[in-house]
A and B are shown apart, each in its own frame.
Chain A
Amino acid sequence: MSLAKRIIPCLDVDNGRVVKGVQFVDIRDAGDPVEVAKRYNEQGADEITFLDIKATHDNRGTMVDVVEAVASQVFIPLTVGGGIRTVEDIRQMLNAGADKVGINSAAVSNPEFVRQATQKFGSQCIVVAIDAKCVSAEGEPKRWEIFTHGGRKPTGIDAIEWAKKMADFGAGEILLTSMDRDGTKSGFDLDLTRAVSDAVAVPVIASGGVGELQDLTDGVKIGRADAVLAASIFHFGEHTVQQAKQQMADQGIEVRL
């Protein structure tokens, strides 16, 4: 027995509420972040990630309040991402009670920021978030590029090379989202996940596309992810974190039950 694979529910937060913008779900409001985080914690979530979906100045202030409220009641690791651009942003989130911050666009526009951040706060709290899209034509060897600004802006940077570079710059973990799969409920991009996981020494969190519990197991077994992140399958009571873990355990994956 050894290290457990992690399940990380992700909470998209806007204006102090958990929201989920999935096309075919009408209920956009998924609840109060503290209540949702407590529920997931009781279900056995290994960590919780908050994503500030607007990343505006006003939303940032609300996010700090959310993190403070959750951190005084939920004693598992908390990650905050979305609009983290400066050392001051990181300090503010850590002081509010976050354990890790996710850096995405700011890493692309200034990779040195990741190095600075890891030197200042330690690798353990810097997660580099990568949004990748498959850009190879059919029949070609698969190739992925990274996109920024919520997947809208292409960068021309190869996703595998970028993940390696970020690990070299001190990132303690990679949060890897497939833009092709995000919101589709068709499962993780397992080729992408495995390619990145094998390429870097640091843990990789698979994200984007979870539609059923088997997807989580596949992410670990086939994609070789160290952790799996999902949002919508947990938000509306379709599945609990506990069910997800039981399903993974039944297929021989070590989890914390």
Chain B
Amino acid sequence: MQRVAVIDYGMGNLRSVSKALEAVGDNVEVEVTSDPEKILAASHVVFPGQGAIGACMAELKRLGLTDVIQTVAAHKPFLGICIGMQLLLSHSDENEGVHGLDIFTGNVRHFDLPAAEDGSHLKVPHMGWNEVHQTAEHPLWHDIEQDSRFYFVHSYFAVPDDVQVTAATTAYPDSFTSAIYRDNIFAVQFHPEKSHHAGLQLLSNFLNWDGQL
């Protein structure tokens, strides 16, 4: 049986994540928790997040979870979602600059989208269903069609220093990194828990993943 810990640091709708994991897992126990013991004891760890990154990082520190995350991210199957992906980078420009967990070197930047000549413009947040172009083979892409649409809602995006960690890109309008990976870590900017078939397939793949490439 898989025991999944969804890290709870008071940010975002964790119920969606846990409900989606329960829906796809046959024999899975999902716990939304901030208890270091439970996170360390889990077989799989999901690191979600919504809202402002400064507040997220402050809560992680206050709850003493940054070391716990570093520990589990070093060897357990680990899935970051949205801010949970951005927090894995070294730094974010949001909230006048925030230092992240530095598990992937790189920065998190704001979309800077000028208006077109006719006065129309792409909106920020980047909100809705966009195509995810898989740039690396990975067990988490199993049975997910190339360029499937996933649900996004974010104003900042990750810019990893090493392009080798990019698992997918998305265009808005320029291409940005929408998924990253290394060893046992996989992290996505979109919300698989809100992305219907493709999203549920990704979560199912995660539950079946042993963390090996």
Contact = CB atoms under 8 A, between A and B. Distances in A.
A256 B124 CA distance: 19
Interface residues of A, number: 38
B54 to A, nearest CB: 11
B142 interface: no
A201 B124 CA distance: 6
A203 B195 contact: no
A215 interface: no
A73 to B, nearest CB: 8
Q: Which of B51, B122, B126, B173 has the most CB of A within 10 A?
A: B51
A136 interface: no
Interface in A118-159: 119, 121-125
A173 interface: yes
B128 A76 contact: no
Given A4-B130, A75-B194, A172-B125, A119 B52 contact: yes
A251 interface: no
Interface stretch (A22-30, A92-100, A184-192): A92-100
Label chain B's interface by main secondary structure.
mixed
Contact of B200 (A75, A95, A172, A198): A75
B196 A41 contact: yes
B46 to A, nearest CB: 15
A232 B18 CA distance: 33
Contacts of B131: 1-2
Interface residues of B, number: 43
Nearest to A200: B123
A75 to B, nearest CB: 5
Contacts of A115: none
Given A3-B130, A75-B194, A122 B12 contact: yes
Contacts of A4: 128-130, 149
A202 B195 CA distance: 21
B193 A75 contact: yes
Contact of B196 (A5, A76, A96): A76
Nearest to A4: B129
B161 interface: no
Interface of B: 11-13, 15-16, 19-20, 22-23, 50-52, 119-131, 147, 149, 151-155, 170-173, 191, 193-196, 199-200
Which 6 pairs show the lowest CB-CB distances between chains A and B?
A122-B51, A256-B129, A203-B123, A124-B153, A4-B129, A3-B130
23 contacts: A3-B128, A3-B129, A3-B172, A4-B128, A5-B128, A71-B16, A75-B20, A75-B193, A75-B194, A75-B195, A77-B151, A96-B15, A97-B15, A99-B13, A121-B50, A122-B50, A123-B125, A124-B127, A124-B154, A201-B124, A203-B123, A226-B127, A256-B149
